[in-house]
Amino acid sequence: MCHRITQLIVLATCVVLWGSANILAQESPNPVEKAPEQQAPTETPAETPAEAPAAAPAEASAEKPAENPPAAPAEAPAEKPAEAPTEAPAEAPAEKPAETPAAAAPAAAQAATEAPAKSYDTFEMKSAPMEINVDADATLWSEELTPIRLSVKQWSVLRVESVVAHGQRVKKGDIIVSFEMEDYNERVQDARLEMELAKLNYQKAKFQQAATLATAKMDAEVSRRKREEALDRWTFTKENDYELTRKTHQATFEDAEFALESQKTELSQLEKMYEADELVEETEELVLRRQRRAVQAAELAFERAKAKYEWNTTRAYDRFIRGEKEKLDRELVAIDLEVAIIDPNLKILEISEKQAEIAFRKAQKKFDELLADAAILQYRAPCDGVVIYGAFENGAWEGLTKWKSLLKKGGVLQANAWAMTIVNPSKMTLSLSIPEREFSKIQSGATGFFVPNAYPEAELRAKITNIADIPDGERYLAWASVEADASLKLFPGMRGKTTFAAIRKSNALLVPPSAIGRDDDMCRYVYILDKETKKPVRRNVKVGLKYNENFEILDGLEAGMSVLKNYKDAE
């Protein structure tokens, strides 16, 4: 029964919150009308304790008061008729059940409003100091580090005559290593003669080129005249020679024809004369035979002259012209060749002159290099400092053992080798190896200290002077100045640790990692507690560096805000 009453109270509360008092008054008869269909009116009152106050009339409560003891509001209808006898008795009981739940509703709503709000574990944003240091491995370098290279030009190997000891201090100009010079003077003399001979060849080539250049213009003019003469002959031959030859053959043909006619005429006259018996018979026969023979010869000469004439007037002309043209072309080709080879000959002489000049320059360079090698064969210190065998590379001394075995009397060295280094130990600098994860925190000008491995109790002041923009593997190279301590025996190549003050802030906003969430768009956020509603409100934030297990907030929060310690409490 209590459960039923609670349900009615909740129902009434909802009705009040919606502001529907009139609607509740209109709908109240419906449960009364439907009550007989749902349950017997009085036979089983115990089964419907909750429905009776809401659905049954007031007389149900009057008839069986003992069966409904919890319904205290039912007493009001019993008093109502006495107070208002003029009103219909049925109206009071009908209104009273509706007033009873409505009266209880505000109390329930007030109870629900006054229910305690959910509490959140928060902290107040406060400005706090943030101090971040960067540690890096360091190597001591010298600001004055002078590698000694045995740079000779005309020698492949060098044999040591004398050398200073490893670690010996020298002054500028001191001989630090000297080499044997047995055949040096002889090689210098040979180089001088070779240079002089090359110089003479160069001068000869220059003279030859100048002479050829002077005659080349005359040769070109001669070739030009020869070409003009050949073309003139060809023009004359084409226009005159053949015509004269044709006329000659025509004249020969005509002479032969005339001779034939003459012989035939003479024979005819003889025959006529002999017919008149003017001569004896023997003479007649002899003369006629001779004349007939002459006619035959004339006929043969005529045929020959005719054939030549016809040949020259029909076929010989083209062959003649073609033959003469071929002669002209051959002559012109020869002339053009004479002209064409003038420039190549000049180029050849020019190249020969260049070659002679190069040979001379090489010989001169060889001679000069031999003279310069004399200074290397007795090498003098270019500056003050300490001589160290080997080379200082990548922060370490390389080749110390090798050069100790070679830099001694009789030792043979390869030319152009980096044999030793002169170091000024009083001017030191630091080479730093900064981890990639620390690169964004450090910058030029940061101050700190250097602790050499050889002196773990010492802290030498240091200051970063330069940082490389491009990483070297997984680290960035940097350089730093360091304050030397005269009481410490520091030397290039010594290693140690450095610590630099990277970031210093007095008003950083820090939050724990549990307070920061990340959404599907990978944006970071926190929840702050609203001062009025006491409810969490999301705030997108920009996160900076991590410091003491907390994260710096660069944007999105301000000092004084209440932030949830765990963003999941609000979700």
Encode pLDDT of 496-525 as tens digits: 999 999 888 889 999 999 999 999 999 999
Which pLDDT does position 114 carry in this prediction?
A: 52
**DSSP at 117:** P
Weakest-pLDDT range from 54-68, 125-139, 177-191, 543-557? 54-68
Which pLDDT does position 24 carry in this prediction?
A: 40
- 202-205 contact pairs (CB < 8 A, 24+): 202/353, 202/356, 202/357, 202/359, 202/360, 204/356, 205/349, 205/352, 205/353, 205/355, 205/356, 205/357
**Average pLDDT over every residue of 165-176:** 90
Query: Shortest CA distance to 191 belongs to which of 358, 403, 367, 309?
Result: 367
Whole-number Å distance between alpha carbons of 52 and 30: 13
Which pLDDT does position 556 carry in this prediction?
A: 93
DSSP codes of every residue in 508-521: EEEE-GGG-EE-TT
Whole-number Å distance between alpha carbons of 195 and 189: 10
Weakest-pLDDT range from 4-13, 48-57, 334-343? 48-57
Residues 6 or more apart in contact with residue 65 via CB below 8 angstroms: 74
pLDDT reading at 95 higher than 80? no
- β-sheet bridge partners, residue 362: none
Whole-number Å distance between alpha carbons of 405 and 389: 10
Cβ–Cβ < 8 Å for 423, 492: yes
Whole-number Å distance between alpha carbons of 476 and 407: 37
Weakest-pLDDT range from 88-97, 443-452, 458-467, 502-511? 88-97
pLDDT reading at 447 higher than 90? yes
pLDDT band for position 65 (cuts 50, 70, 90) = very low
pLDDT digits (tens, 9 = 90+) for 347-368: 888 888 899 999 999 999 989 8
Whole-number Å distance between alpha carbons of 107 and 113: 10
pLDDT digits (tens, 9 = 90+) for 523-558: 999 999 998 888 999 999 999 988 889 999 999 999
Which pLDDT does position 508 carry in this prediction?
A: 93
Weakest-pLDDT range from 25-34, 464-473, 491-500? 25-34
Which pLDDT does position 43 carry in this prediction?
A: 39
Which pLDDT does position 57 carry in this prediction?
A: 35
Cβ–Cβ < 8 Å for 154, 188: no
Which pLDDT does position 74 carry in this prediction?
A: 37
Which pLDDT does position 464 carry in this prediction?
A: 94
Q: What is the number of other CB atoms lying within 10 angstroms of the CB of residue 485?
A: 14
**Average pLDDT over every residue of 447-476:** 91
Enter the tokens of residue 328.
């002209």
> Alpha-carbon Rg of the chain, whole angstroms?
67
Cβ–Cβ < 8 Å for 70, 5: yes
Most confident of 26-30, 205-209, 507-511: 507-511
Whole-number Å distance between alpha carbons of 373 and 153: 7
Which pLDDT does position 134 carry in this prediction?
A: 93
pLDDT digits (tens, 9 = 90+) for 260-279: 888 888 888 877 777 765 55
pLDDT digits (tens, 9 = 90+) for 74-94: 333 334 333 433 333 334 344
The position carrying tokens 């009789």 is 410
Weakest-pLDDT range from 119-123, 339-343, 382-386? 339-343
Query: Shortest CA distance to 416 belongs to which of 362, 365, 369, 368?
Result: 369
Tell me the average pLDDT of the chain. Answer: 77
CB-side exposure of 369: number of CA atoms within 13 Å? Answer: 13
pLDDT reading at 110 higher than 60? no
Amino acid at 501: A
Which pLDDT does position 59 carry in this prediction?
A: 37
**Average pLDDT over every residue of 375-403:** 84
pLDDT reading at 17 higher than 70? no
Termini Cα distance of the chain: 39
Which pLDDT does position 170 carry in this prediction?
A: 92
Percent of the chain with pLDDT over 70: 77
pLDDT band for position 462 (cuts 50, 70, 90) = very high
Q: What is the three-class DSSP state of 255?
A: helix
Regarding predicted confidence, which is higher, 50 or 412? 412
DSSP codes of every residue in 151-184: --SS-SEEEEEEEPPTT-EE-TT-EEEEE--TTH
Q: pTM higher than 0.95, yes or no?
A: no
Which pLDDT does position 426 carry in this prediction?
A: 79
Which pLDDT does position 510 carry in this prediction?
A: 94
